[in-house]
Chains A and B, each alone.
Chain A
Amino acid sequence: MKHLISSQDMAQFTASGYLKYEDMVPKDLCKACLKEMENNKGYLAVGMPFEETWPKDTALGEAFRLPKVKGLIQSLVGPDPLYDHHAAHLVKAHTTRGPDMHQDSVIDFRQNYFDIQLSFFPVDTTDEMGGTFLVPGSHFRNVRTGEIRGYQHITGKVWATCPAGTIYVWNTRVWHGARSNYTDQDRYMYKLRLNPTKPQIRNFDTSDIDNPEIGRILSTHHGWEGHEHRYELMKRIELWRYVSDQPDYDVGERFLRRREYQPQRIMA
């Protein structure tokens, strides 16, 4: 498959829980998609194969089947994903939003597993238009949906500002929310959630898997980790070991050894 993401990008997805790709959907197709979004209806068949479920003769059908988008999807959830749900999120012109931090759906403890959400922005989205905010790296912190609304502000929060045709792809456990739209223009974001059907191992381009930069990417400080950074790092390393199929991978002081190195348990 073409257009698979690099190992470095996969490491960044592991550490930060999201990736941003501009120029994914051409402008004309963006316009056609926007028209369809205005008439969005409810969910399709939840939990059914994406390829069978997703409409074929529509602009949105085409957008999520572009080779670049397919490569991105395959890199993260592998071949033959399932359609989970979709939605056209609208923040109307001149609509303000209060605190909205949440984790989607319900609490999700599945190990060595993640769903992805593709957030497609069909129009140029400026700072003032209130693009979705994300808390990079928060995807290892399980919470019950909207209970984190009380975290009004977090150091390191980012929000979508991008040209039309951009796709943000994120681990569905990333903390996020909507923002105020101060402009005269309605703000649309189209989201699609997908589930893997097979173990999410080495689905991305592994030609740069030994790049030493990967260790640095996995160690990223996003701003809010404080004294818990090394506990975050342990979670990231565990996920990286799994997706890269390197069960002994570790970095720096190798914190996972504090659990794993137990010679007293080895029987003669």
Chain B
Amino acid sequence: MPKVQDILVLFQTSPALDVVPSAWARYEASKGTGIKDLIEERNPPYKNAMAAMRDGWQVIQMSEYHQRSEADGYELGPFPYQTVLSRFREMQTEEEDS
């Protein structure tokens, strides 16, 4: 089977690569086209992006800092920063929808 791209996204409250992620998501194309059963995970898969890099993940995007203004500097919404990591893995046959 060919190797295809897997993505791991770490959602963070600072763009630094050594901060603990607040949230995370996996897009593992090697396994299929989406998650049909989300298994709960209490802790992030790595303590930070650098730990993922040491495990073979390659950073393909890190966030820029935001300019803050008085109007929005205190506002809250989605997590402000994310690190996108990539790794190539051998493709598996996707399970059929039952």
- Whether A197 sits at the interface, judged by CB under 8 Å, is no
| Least CB distance, A232 to chain B, in whole angstroms | 7
The CA-CA distance from A105 to B23 in the complex, in Å, is: 23
Q: Indicate if the CB atoms of A155 and B23 lie closer than 8 Å.
A: yes
Q: Indicate if the CB atoms of B44 and A151 lie closer than 8 Å.
A: no
- Whether B12 sits at the interface, judged by CB under 8 Å, is yes
- Whether B77 sits at the interface, judged by CB under 8 Å, is yes
The CA-CA distance from A234 to B76 in the complex, in Å, is: 11
| Least CB distance, B21 to chain A, in whole angstroms | 8
Q: Which residues of A contact B12 (CB under 8 A)?
A: 226
Query: Which of B22, B34, B37 is A226 in contact with, Cβ under 8 Å?
Result: B22
Query: Which of B11, B40, B80 is A151 in contact with, Cβ under 8 Å?
Result: B11
Chain A residues 79-112 with CB under 8 Å of chain B are 96-100
The CA-CA distance from A142 to B74 in the complex, in Å, is: 13
The CA-CA distance from A65 to B20 in the complex, in Å, is: 45
- Whether B43 sits at the interface, judged by CB under 8 Å, is yes
Nearest-neighbor residue (CB-CB) of B37 within chain A: A96
Nearest-neighbor residue (CB-CB) of B16 within chain A: A227
- Whether B92 sits at the interface, judged by CB under 8 Å, is no
Q: Indicate if the CB atoms of A96 and B36 lie closer than 8 Å.
A: yes
Interface centre among A96, A155, A228, A231 (most CB of B within 10 A): A155
Q: Indicate if the CB atoms of B74 and A224 lie closer than 8 Å.
A: no
Query: Which of A141, A152, A225, A226 is B25 in contact with, Cβ under 8 Å?
Result: A152
A202-235 Cβ-contact flags toward B at 8 Å (1 or 0): 0000000000000000000000111110011011
Q: Indicate if the CB atoms of A225 and B35 lie closer than 8 Å.
A: no
- Whether A179 sits at the interface, judged by CB under 8 Å, is yes
Q: Which residues of A contact B22 (CB under 8 A)?
A: 154-155, 224-226
Q: Indicate if the CB atoms of B38 and A228 lie closer than 8 Å.
A: no
Q: Indicate if the CB atoms of B38 and A179 lie closer than 8 Å.
A: yes
Extra inter-chain contacts (20) besides given A98-B36, A152-B23, A157-B42, CB under 8 Å: A96-B36, A97-B37, A98-B34, A98-B35, A141-B78, A143-B78, A148-B78, A151-B11, A151-B25, A151-B79, A152-B38, A153-B24, A153-B44, A155-B21, A155-B43, A224-B23, A225-B22, A228-B76, A231-B74, A231-B76
